[in-house]
Amino acid sequence: MNPSSSLSRLARDRGGSPISDLMKRALDNPRLISLAAGFVDPASLPLDPTNRAVDALLGDPALGRRALQYGTTIGDPSLRARLVRRLEREEDALPGQFEHVVPRTVVTNGSQQLLYLVAEALIDPGDVVLVESPTYFVFMGLIEGRGARVIGVETDEGGLNLEALEETLRRLEAEGDLPRVKLIYTVSEHSNPTGISLAEGRRGPLVELANRWSKGHQIFVLEDAAYRGLSFSGREPSSVWRHDEEGRCVILARTFSKSFSPGLKTGFGVLPEALVGPVLSLKGDHDFGSNNFAQMVLDRALGDGGYDAQVARLREVYRDKCAVLLGALGEHLGGVEGVSWTVPRGGLYVWLTVPEWLDTGKAGPLFSRALEHEVLYVPGCYAFAEEPGPVPNNHARLCFGVPDEDQLREGARRLAGALASCGEQVA
């Protein structure tokens, strides 16, 4: 008897996680320098502000008991109100201007749960989701798991190309598939995997475009802003969500995993009114509500300045580490024909491009040579939707979050050695 025959379609179709495999390779060889895992700098984790927040909670018996009790499905009211007030400051709004969105603000187990809940609330088999090309491949996986079509849309130095997006929508309408388009997905700040942000001048027009093409049903925009706040310098533009003044189109997804602590596993979203009930109903089935203790710890850290100090520290840490990796790439690969990389202004990622003839996938020569040189990257092919195809095989995602500066320099040197060993054209 075959046990797999008892599994659901979703469990049968999902297969293994590429990231889990990459993590296992790194753990199996402690000498390996991993530029793959999109983890935060371990030395920068916020021990002191978290300790202060926990002490304050447990030092007050009433607060401590409340923190250790169940919370509500939508999330702690104090934290949600504080988050909305922070949005007002970030978006240069007047005090109280966003107060009406507090009932539409939900706390989740990281932003990943919100992405899953949105997909669960909106996507049926055969529906269409439009994503940046390349995009966050974990999101693509959960969409494909629901039996939807994922279609990539061209990006450039300004992120999602709106002309290409409109052309894709026009083609889908001509093919009779526009009614199946449910969602446009964008990683608006320092994108995973490229490090590129959506240009400020495209944010308002993206909202206008989504509403204009909502013919018979609403096409939502899911703004994944996981890396907002981690810009190395200067102000960040208003979010895509800020341009949705009627609150009917944009789903804002945020997380504290990159800007504070992934171990607290807490994120939040601001939903259009039409999605609040469905998402909360589904979330109730998942967990009855996110970790109440973690929410109250974060509320304290946000209120006493610990969170802001941590973000300021992380900006410096990642700015310096990014500069080290870019400098090392320039030293070892600068001027090599066909090799280039993005120069991010924040976040955790650099997107590497090699000559088209060189396959960076797991079955290609560069990946095996990189393992021989004891350096690991994420093959870029994971980040592209199968449609419209063909999927390019000459990219790699590099993350500078975990390795220290010496490891980043050595990792770039090893990667250059792996590239050189793949053929005379690169050497």
Query: What CATH number should be reported for the domain holding residue 21?
Result: 3.90.1150.10
Bridge partner list, 189: none
Same domain, 289 and 313: no
- Domain check: are 33 and 58 in the same one? no
Q: What is the pLDDT of residues 303-343, one digit of tens each?
A: 999 999 999 999 999 999 999 999 999 999 998 999 999 99
Q: Which residue in 131, 142, 129, 235 sits closest to 183, CA to CA?
A: 129
Which pTM does this prediction carry?
0.94
User: Are 284 and 319 found together in one domain?
Assistant: no
Phi, psi of 125 (to 5 degrees): -55, 135
**Reduced to 3 states, what is the DSSP secondary structure of residue 379?**
strand
* Secondary structure of residue 33 in the 3-state scheme: strand
Looking at the structure, do residues 25 and 57 belong to the same domain, yes or no? no
**257 and 315, same structural domain?**
no
Q: How many domains does the chain have?
A: 2
Residue 399 falls inside a structural domain = yes
Is the same domain home to 185 and 232? yes
Round to whole Å and give the CA distance between 254 and 233: 20
Distance set, CA 95 to CA 49, 92, 200, 299, 417 (Å): 26, 9, 23, 19, 55
Q: Tokens representing 16? A: 């293994």
Amino acid 427: pLDDT: 43
- Of 304, 332, 351, which residue sits at a domain end? 304
Is the bond preceding 134 in cis, omega lying within 30 degrees of 0?
yes
What is the CATH number for 294? 3.40.640.10
Rounded-to-10 torsion of CA 309, 253, 389, 363: 50
Contact between 410 and 327 (Cβ < 8 Å): no
Q: H/E element holding 54?
A: helix 47-58
Which residue is associated with the tokens 């960040």? Answer: 236
Residue 335, pLDDT score? 85
Q: Are residues 274 and 345 in the same domain?
A: no
Judge if 33 and 72 occupy the same domain.
no
Looking at the fold, whether 57 and 41 belong to one and the same domain comes out as: no
Q: Are 290 and 322 members of one domain? A: no
> What pLDDT score does 177 carry?
97
DSSP assignments along 138-162, one per residue: HHHHHHHHTT-EEEEEEEETTEE-H
CA gap 12, 6 in Å, rounded:
9
Tokens of 233: 């310098």
Same domain for 125 and 149? yes
Average pLDDT per 10 consecutive residues for the chain, totaling 427 residues: 64 65 68 91 95 96 96 97 97 96 97 96 97 96 95 97 98 98 98 97 98 97 97 94 96 97 96 97 95 97 96 97 98 94 97 97 95 96 95 97 97 97 63
- The parent domain of residue 207 ranges over 49-304
Q: What is the pLDDT of residue 277?
A: 97
Query: Which of 285, 304, 323 finishes a domain?
Result: 304
Provide the CB-side half-sphere exposure for 214 (13 A, CA). Answer: 17
What is the per-residue pLDDT for 84? 98
DSSP assignment of 302-369 equals HHTTHHHHHHHHHHHHHHHHHHHHHHHHHHHHTT-TT-EE---SBSSEEEEE--TTS--STTSHHHHH
Nearest CA to 296 out of 122, 66, 95, 117 is that of: 66
pLDDT digits (tens, 9 = 90+) for 375-410: 999 999 999 999 998 999 999 999 999 999 999 999
Encoded tokens for 134: 């390349």
**117 is a domain residue:** yes
201 vs 190: CA distance, rounded Å: 16
Assign 229 to helix, strand or coil: coil
Question: In the prediction, which pLDDT does 12 show?
Answer: 67
